[in-house]
């Protein structure tokens, strides 16, 4: 039975404890060749801390006698670099710094953290340092200077690892109140402590004992604000050779699934089924302009592996609690100018989200007074892992998409909070949706959207199109507990508007698979009947269905659904498929046709 290191970021513990480990030591030469001070960004819970722990164990002078035990069986073990176990290694973790209280309390907490790290290094390497390290309890930068002085008296140099360097910026982003803004400004502007810390790091690297720095974080927000004090870091997070430095490839996922399926004595086809399931939920991350392969979220994959091996079945809840902060970030973006519209476009995928290039450096000031454009907002969502790069369009623009179904769930929750009725109405929403899953009857769904969907009360007809019609149904019907839901499902270079394919573990329930195609009829299209909102609301469903333009749009939808249904059957096998053609007439009424099969 495999031991999965879910929630463990200690490299030595994983290796010595016999946990499953994806070997990334072959990247060590690439990292060494990459530069002396490197910045590496990835979304939260993507394995950055484990990466730093691997670097720490590899370069640590005090662990030279453990090299064979820790690395002998790994890729780097048979041919290590000359810098193996040649450094004093110090790690700063800014996520461990208390950020509550006033600026004085925050600065004290930062001084204490840095002093604790410096003291730990002085103690660990006391037999290698010819002079003691003097600690200044009120000035960690003075302590850092004394450590570098001591290091200079030895044949070795210092390697500094900084985890979550942008923790302060992210905390400000989550709670953008005046107090947080003022504290942040005090930290990073002028002679602010955080800016001064990075200035000291830069100075120490100029022949004063510090040889290498490796920083990890989520976004380049803070780097822009401290750039005048620390403008020497080289960004490697979009370099193709580091695409899979963190996270899992599909080949690695497949290897594990084969072992679990064998151990559970499940039939061999279960491997393909489980891989398709994981691909939909956890794959999809691209960290370069033209990714040759996509990456699986490591934390969520480990969560799945652990549950699958334990129960020989899939977890009923595909999203664990580790992405709660990502939901907070979406809530923040939705409050920015045009933020809600960008989330809608990304969720429905009717209009691709593209940017000329990612914002490489932007200050927190832009978050408080943002330029309302896709490049800015799309870049933020990219760095947080809530959008990801999937390639470029015919003009060379970077295409950003929601990476997988788990992240799509977060979008749906945010837009449901914005557009659906109040919390008290959610039991009714659930009942309407579940009735549809089990019967294929769209009438209650249409009636609910016609009378209760909040966005339609605004009559904002600049969004009056198929996008908003589809959004209404997607938000009402979304359910990843039973369904693999997809918007703009790609079927041989064509795209079905919305598909609900039962999860393999949900086929035991009396539910149907569904595919929906949406059309929109604007009032101005029907000159003959001079349709208006009031007129449409007064007409019966039969009268609306008899309108020639409605008939044309239904016929077009039926034709598309027939083709899409055939391709879905080929892809998934024997589906209990119901097909649904829906025409939205303005935002006032919906006409629909449903049938079983294709």
Per-residue pLDDT of the chain (598 residues; tens, 9 = 90+): 899 999 999 999 999 999 999 999 999 999 999 999 999 999 988 999 999 999 999 999 999 999 999 999 999 999 999 999 999 999 999 999 887 778 888 889 999 999 999 999 999 999 999 999 999 999 999 999 999 999 999 999 999 999 999 887 777 666 666 777 777 777 877 778 888 999 999 999 999 999 999 999 998 877 777 766 678 889 999 999 999 999 999 999 999 999 999 999 999 999 999 999 999 999 999 999 888 899 999 999 999 999 999 999 998 887 666 665 677 778 878 777 778 878 888 888 777 888 888 887 777 666 666 555 777 888 888 998 999 998 888 888 999 999 999 899 889 888 888 777 665 667 888 999 999 999 999 999 999 988 877 554 444 434 446 677 888 899 899 998 899 987 656 655 567 889 999 999 999 999 999 999 999 998 888 777 788 888 999 999 999 999 999 999 999 999 999 989 888 888 888 899 999 999 999 888 999 999 998 8
Q: For residues 512 and 437, is the Cβ–Cβ distance under 8 A? A: yes
- In this structure, the number of other CB atoms found within 10 A of the CB of residue 251 comes to 8
Question: Helix axis angle, 466-477 relative to 405-419, nearest 10°?
Answer: 100
- In this structure, the number of other CB atoms found within 10 A of the CB of residue 152 comes to 16
Alpha-helical (H) ranges within 166-264 are: 167-174, 178-188, 193-204, 221-225, 250-263
Give the count of alpha carbons within 13 A of 14, CB side only.
20
Distances (CA, A) of 323 to 8, 211, 216, 330, 558: 17, 35, 19, 11, 39
Please report, for the chain, the start and end positions of each structural domain, with discontinuous segments joined by +. Answer: 11-242, 250-316, 420-598
Question: DSSP state, 523?
Answer: G
How far is it, in rounded angstroms, from Cα 564 to Cα 488?
11
How far is it, in rounded angstroms, from Cα 343 to Cα 586?
22
Structure tokens that stand for 422 in this block: 């109040």
At a CB cut-off of 8 Å and minimum separation 6, what does 498 contact? 470, 473, 474, 477, 485, 486, 487, 489, 515, 516, 518
Tokens 């009056």 belong to residue: 464
CATH number of 11-242: 3.40.50
How far is it, in rounded angstroms, from Cα 301 to Cα 493?
29
Q: For residues 206 and 213, is the Cβ–Cβ distance under 8 A? A: no
- In this structure, the number of other CB atoms found within 10 A of the CB of residue 309 comes to 19
Distances (CA, A) of 381 to 100, 173, 388, 439, 548: 26, 12, 8, 37, 43
Distances (CA, A) of 198 to 141, 194, 233: 10, 7, 10
Question: Helix axis angle, 324-334 relative to 167-174, nearest 10°?
Answer: 60
How far is it, in rounded angstroms, from Cα 328 to Cα 334?
10
Q: For residues 154 and 204, is the Cβ–Cβ distance under 8 A? A: no
Which pLDDT belongs to residue 573?
82
Is residue 338 exposed (0-12), middle (13-18) or buried (19+ Cβ within 10 Å)? middle
Distances (CA, A) of 474 to 13, 151, 420: 44, 60, 11
The backbone torsions φ and ψ at residue 585, rounded to the nearest 5 degrees and listed phi first, read -100, 100
Question: DSSP state, 142?
Answer: H
**Residue 77 Ramachandran class (φ > 0 left, ψ -120 to 50 alpha, else beta):** alpha
How far is it, in rounded angstroms, from Cα 266 to Cα 285?
29
Q: For residues 503 and 280, is the Cβ–Cβ distance under 8 A? A: no
């Amino acid at each position: 039975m495999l031991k999965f290191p879910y929630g463990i970021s200690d490299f030595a513990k994983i290796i010595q404890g016999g946990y499953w480990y994806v070997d990334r030591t072959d990247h060590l030469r690439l990292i060494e060749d990459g530069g002396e001070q490197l910045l590496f960004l990835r979304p939260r819970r993507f394995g950055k801390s484990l990466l730093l722990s691997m670097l720490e164990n590899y370069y640590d002078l005090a662990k030279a006698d453990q090299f064979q035990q820790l690395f002998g069986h790994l890729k780097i073990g048979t041919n290590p670099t000359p810098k193996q176990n040649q450094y004093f290694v110090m790690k700063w973790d800014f996520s461990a710094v208390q950020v509550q209280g006033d600026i004085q309390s925050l600065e004290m907490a930062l001084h204490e953290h840095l002093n604790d790290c410096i003291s730990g290094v002085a103690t660990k390497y006391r037999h290698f340092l010819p002079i003691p390290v003097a600690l200044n309890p009120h000035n960690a930068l003075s302590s850092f200077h004394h450590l570098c002085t001591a290091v200079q008296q030895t044949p070795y140099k210092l390697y500094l690892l900084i985890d979550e360097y942008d923790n302060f910026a992210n905390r400000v982003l989550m709670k953008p109140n005046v107090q947080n803004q003022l504290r942040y400004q005090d930290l990073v502007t002028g002679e602010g402590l955080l800016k001064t810390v990075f200035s000291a790091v830069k100075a120490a690297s100029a022949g004063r004992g510090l040889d290498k720095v490796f920083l990890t974080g989520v976004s380049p927000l803070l780097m822009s604000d401290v750039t005048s004090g620390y403008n020497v870091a080289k960004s490697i997070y979009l370099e193709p050779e580091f695409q899979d430095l963190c996270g899992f490839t599909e080949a690695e996922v497949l290897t594990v699934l084969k072992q679990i399926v064998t151990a559970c004595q499940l039939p061999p086809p279960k491997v393909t089924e489980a891989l398709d399931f994981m691909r939909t939920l956890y794959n999809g991350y691209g960290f370069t302009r033209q990714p040759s392969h996509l990456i699986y979220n490591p934390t969520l994959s480990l969560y799945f592996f652990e549950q699958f091996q334990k129960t020989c079945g899939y977890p009923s809840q595909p999203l664990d609690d580790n992405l709660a902060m990502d939901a907070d970030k979406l809530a923040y973006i939705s409050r920015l100018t045009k933020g809600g519209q960008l989330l809608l476009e990304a969720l429905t995928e009717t209009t691709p989200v593209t940017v000329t290039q990612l914002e490489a450096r932007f200050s927190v000031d832009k978050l408080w007074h943002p330029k309302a454009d896709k490049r800015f907002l799309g870049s933020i969502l990219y760095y947080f892992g809530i959008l990801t790069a999937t390639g470029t369009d015919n003009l060379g623009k970077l295409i950003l998409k929601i990476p997988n179904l788990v992240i799509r769930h977060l979008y749906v929750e945010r837009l449901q909070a914005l557009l659906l009725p109040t919390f008290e109405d959610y039991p009714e929403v659930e009942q309407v949706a579940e009735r549809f899953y089990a019967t294929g009857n769209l009438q209650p769904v249409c009636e609910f959207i016609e009378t209760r969907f909040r966005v339609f009360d605004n009559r904002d007809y600049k969004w009056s199109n198929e996008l908003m019609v589809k959004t209404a149904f997607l938000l009402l019907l979304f359910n990843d507990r039973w369904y693999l839901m997809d918007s703009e499902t790609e079927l041989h270079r064509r795209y079905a508007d919305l598909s609900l394919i039962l999860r393999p573990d949900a086929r035991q329930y009396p539910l149907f698979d569904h595919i929906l195609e949406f059309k929109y009829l604007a009032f101005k299209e029907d000159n003959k009947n001079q349709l208006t909102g009031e007129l449409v609301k007064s007409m019966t469903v039969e009268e609306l269905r008899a309108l020639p333009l409605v008939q044309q749009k239904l016929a077009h939808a039926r034709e598309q659904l027939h083709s899409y249904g055939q391709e879905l059957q080929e892809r998934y096998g024997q589906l209990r498929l119901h097909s649904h053609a829906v025409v939205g007439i303005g935002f006032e009424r919906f006409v629909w046709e449903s049938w079983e099969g294709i």
